[in-house]
Structures are given as C-alpha cells and as structure tokens.
Chain A
Amino acid sequence: MATLIIAEHDNSTLKAATLHAVTAAQQVGGDIDVLVAGSACQAAAEEAAKVAGVSKVLVADNAVYANQLAENVAKLIAEVGAGYSHIMATSTPETKNVLPRAAALLDVGQISDILRVDSADTFGRPIYAGNAIATVKALDAIKVITVRSTAFEPAAAEGGSAAVEAVAAAHDAGLSTFVSDEVAQSDRPELTSAKIIVSGGRGMGNGENFAMLDSVADKLGAAVGASRAAVDAGFVPNDMQVGQTGKIVAPDLYVAVGISGAIQHLAGMKDSKVIVAINKDDEAPIFQVADYGLVADLFEAVPELDSKL
C-alpha cells in the first residue's frame, strides 16, 4: 500500500495546500510519494522532498506541464498513479480540475473532499453542503481522494529528506493551450484559502458600505465575503458569495456583519473555527452558531473595530 500525492505548486514553490493531503495520507498508512508535474519545477520538488513523512518525490519536468493543463497532467497521473493504492490531493480548484479526469482514465471513482480517514478504504465526507456527513467505502483498487484542507492539519514542511526521482513521461494531449492569467487585483487572500474572512450581508445597506469591511479585512489580512442576500441585492459580485451555492469556507475566524444567518449561508461557513456575529437583531439565527456575538449597529461597531485593530 502506497499513496501518491499530487503536489500543488507554481513551479518555484510548493503550495502549503499540499501539506494537508500529506497528513491525510499518513492516517491512511503506507509509503507516501509526491508527484510534482511542472516546467522548471526542480525548486518545488526539492521543497516537497523536505516535507516530513514523504518517502520519494517524482518530478515530471516538462514544458507540456507548465500550466498544469488538466488534459496533459491527468494522463501523467493516470500513468504514474496506476502503481499506487491511493492517489490523494488537497481539494483546491486546481486538483478538482485534474483529479476526476485522472480517475476516469483509470476507470475508478473518486471520493471528494474527505473530512475524516476511518481506515485505508473508508472516509467521511460532507454532502448536501455539509448538512449531512456520509461515511463512504471505496471499492476500487485505486482510491482517488481529495482532502478538505480545513479538516487536516498541515504536515511539517521541514524535517524530511526524500529522494527526488525524475519521471520521463511527457503527455501532450494537444487539446488545450494556456492563454493568460489574470491575478486578482487585491492583495487580499482568496476566499476559500483565507485564514480570516469578514463577510457582509443585507444589513450593509449598499455596495459602498463594503469599504468598511475592506478596511477591517486589510488590517487582519482577511478576505471579504458576502451572503446571498447581499449578492442578490446587487451590493457585491457573486464570486464573493459564501454559502450553499457560493463558496464553502472554513477559516480560523469568520466575522459575519449584518448577516441574519439563513441556512444557505450557514452551510457555507459553519465549519469555521471561530465565528463572530455583529448584528443589531439579537434574535438573528446567526447568534445560534456564533462563538462571540455583538448586538450592535454595524455602522458604529465596524468603524470602532477598525480603529482598535
């Protein structure tokens, strides 16, 4: 039994997301190898070799993997992964893109977003936006799994000394080409990976008032989110939406400002470690899940909070 972890990286550095999958793989047991597919990605591979618990790092360094296009990388994963009992990666947009494609090439199912490892073939995962937890047994010989980062502590990035081995396979499906990247203008972290999120709801009144949250978020190094009500009211674009049909987040700290706490919203953030609610209605359902609740007018409380950070 051995696990192949699909590394996430930008060719020069290993992304921290990868470390969560290593911890989940340790709970599965057996050897842990890491596959780094990229172009001029030796530095990322060397970082992967230092991760505690990793036995071997396989590097597929080829121009065809430069932008991690799913069509090319999935073929590589299917080829290299065929010799493993488990193929795992932390659940991110990149791995969600490529892993199911690799699973289908291997003719096996995938278990997405696990929260728990019960045994080498049995896992817990959320369904219905986290309103139920399914215990699922994988029946295939190769178990393809993505890991919810917030459910597993990251493995230590230092302390390992794995061997680095080159993989020659170059798969160019010839189906897709990378055109451009448009990196978000904001210095703020992405919602789904942010450690702290400050979110606004209908109570914000309008889009301009979100500037108050931006200021608090900048001081905390936080991302700014919104409830569906705020999106539907046109205050902010829908990529900021946290909830059942928006983004599912589980940061260390979630600050809900002017959000009543409808079930669709709670579904997207109730796994946050600490929840703070600021709302003037002390009957608002958000207070039933908040660790710290402040009953106050947000137009007074938020600027005060801003000044005290």
Chain B
Amino acid sequence: MKVLVTVKRVIDYNVKVRVKSDNTDVDLTNVKMAMNPFCEIAVEEAVRLKESGVASEVVVVSLGPQAAQEQIRTALALGADRGILVQSDETLESLHVAKLLAKVIEQEQPGLVITGKQAIDSDNNQTGQMLAALTGMAQGTFASEVKIEGDKALVTREVDGGLQTVELAMPALVTTDLRLNEPRYASLPNIMKAKKKPMATTTPEELGVTIKAHTEVLRVDTPEERQAGIKVASVDELVEKLKNEAKVI
C-alpha cells in the first residue's frame, strides 16, 4: 500500500511573529521556517507504517514556494521515499490545497493519506477534511492511533471528553493529533541520502486547478496586549481576590 503524506512549510513554532507595520500580514522576512509540527507527526506515522511492513512506499507532497523543497527533503531524510512539490507563490487557501492534493491523489492512487490536523500559521484545521470530501474518502481526524486491518483502517480520535474509535473503508484519510507519536530526528547519513531521493515538481496549472479566492484578508493586527496585574502577598489574599474581586471561584 502506498501512503501519501502532506507537509507544510511554516514559521518555526519557537518564533514570535510580528505584524507588519502596514497591517497587511505578519512579517516573514528572515524568519526561521520549519516543517509544521503536526506534519512531522504525519511523516513519522507514515514511516512507521513502512517499517512495520504495512506501507510499501511513502510519498511526501508539499504545496508552496520553491523553498518548500527543504521541508520535503526533511521528510525524505526521515524515511519518505520520494517527494512532489506543487509550486505556487500565491496564497493558497485550504480549499485550494485540497483541490490540488485531490489531483495528486488521482495520479498517485494511495491507499492512505495522512495530513496534520492543522498548520500553526493559518490555524484553520480544514484541509484534511476538505480533501476527504473532494476525493470521497472516509476521514479519521485528530487521530491518536491508527491501525490498518486488511482493507479497513481503525482510527482512534481525540474528541471532547475522551476517545472515539471509527472504522474507515480504504482508501482513507487521517489527520494527526499530538498524541499519535513522537517524531524522530533525521540522522546526518539520512540527510545525505535524502539528497539523492527523487523529487518531482508540478504547478497548479499543470494539475488543471484554477485558484479562485474564497476569502480576502483585509488586515492583520497585533492582539491587544494583556496588562500585568498585581502581586498578592499570601495564599489567603489570592483566594480572597479570586472570590470577591475576580469572582471566578
């Protein structure tokens, strides 16, 4: 079974973003970029499926600028077999990404698709679900465990108040939650080997997808700064303030 896994190039999660002074966007010049943390978990899961003999090939796909090749190389160093970059310098919304990925899936015919549950830049949590809709696949979102049993996938999902297990017909789509696994680090020899692994490049035009905007960002602002409060001298004073001043307990 072929597994297709998606990765997104995003700002490193350790970086504190700054809003541009003209309020058009956040400033990404000279900012450290990295693979979205939920995508790392997706790659790890795909590689583990390969190591356990369930998956025969792991194909990693990224959409975005030329520089997103770096994140594909990272995934290759972690154990993916080959990469596909859908190159576009436009702002891609979730539905655009889902439509482009649907075309790649049509060509690749994977048995399982793994995406992160959300990207830490746009925080949308949409692409996987939209992709499942467009390809007609079953979806196992926010997965904390994935088991492949023949032509079914058993996916345990993190829901409000606990866990839910669903059985999905294959091919299926899974989006990763934090608990699914602990991603490995790429070793230096594997980083070197990854440079020789194949990477194909395509474009939205080649895939026959026209990008039509569904939303327009009018402006981006810095959130209101929180004002520091007061220091209390004792636990008694703290309890008193919470009861009588803040009225939260």
Contacts and interface: CB of A to CB of B under 8 A. Distances in A.
Interface string B118-146: 00111111111111111011110110100
Contact of A100 (B130, B137, B144): B130
Given A96-B125, A101-B139, A294 B167 contact: no
Given A70-B139, A181-B164, A290-B228, A127 B246 contact: no
Interface string B191-226: 000000000000000000000011111111111001
Contact of A177 (B16, B162, B166, B217): B166
B158 interface: yes
Contact of A139 (B26, B158, B216): B216
A180 B33 CA distance: 39
Contacts of A111: 215
Nearest to A193: B160
B178 A241 contact: yes
B232 A103 contact: no
A96 B214 CA distance: 18
Contacts of A184: 161-163
Contact of B249 (A103, A176, A220): A220
Interface stretch (B55-63, B72-80, B233-241): B233-241
Tell me if A's interface is mostly helix, strand, loop or mixed.
Answer: mixed
A246 B242 CA distance: 27
Given A96-B125, A127-B220, A135-B218, A104 B239 contact: no
B242 A253 contact: yes
Interface in A167-197: 173-184, 190, 192-193, 196
Given A178-B164, A179-B166, A287-B231, A244 B120 contact: yes
B95 interface: yes
Q: How large is the interface on B (under 10, 10 to 19, 20 to 34, 35 or more residues)?
A: 35 or more
A216 B119 CA distance: 34
Contacts of A133: 220-223
Contacts of B218: 122, 135-137
Given A103-B130, A176-B167, A239-B158, A109 B93 contact: yes
A274 B160 contact: no
B168 interface: yes
Q: How large is the interface on A (under 10, 10 to 19, 20 to 34, 35 or more residues)?
A: 35 or more
Contact of B124 (A71, A112, A178): A112
A105 B159 contact: no
Q: Which of A94, A105, A131, A263 is most buried by chain B, counting CB atoms within 10 A of its CB?
A: A131
Contacts of B54: none
A104 B134 contact: yes
A97 interface: yes
A274 B235 CA distance: 16
A132 B120 CA distance: 12
A309 interface: yes
B220 A129 contact: no
A99 B207 CA distance: 26
A235 B46 CA distance: 27
Interface string A86-97: 000000111011
Nearest to B138: A175
B229 A291 contact: yes
B188 interface: no
B87 to A, nearest CB: 22
**Top 3 nearest A-B pairs by Cβ distance?**
A109-B214, A291-B229, A175-B138
7 contacts: A70-B141, A104-B98, A175-B169, A253-B249, A276-B242, A288-B226, A289-B226
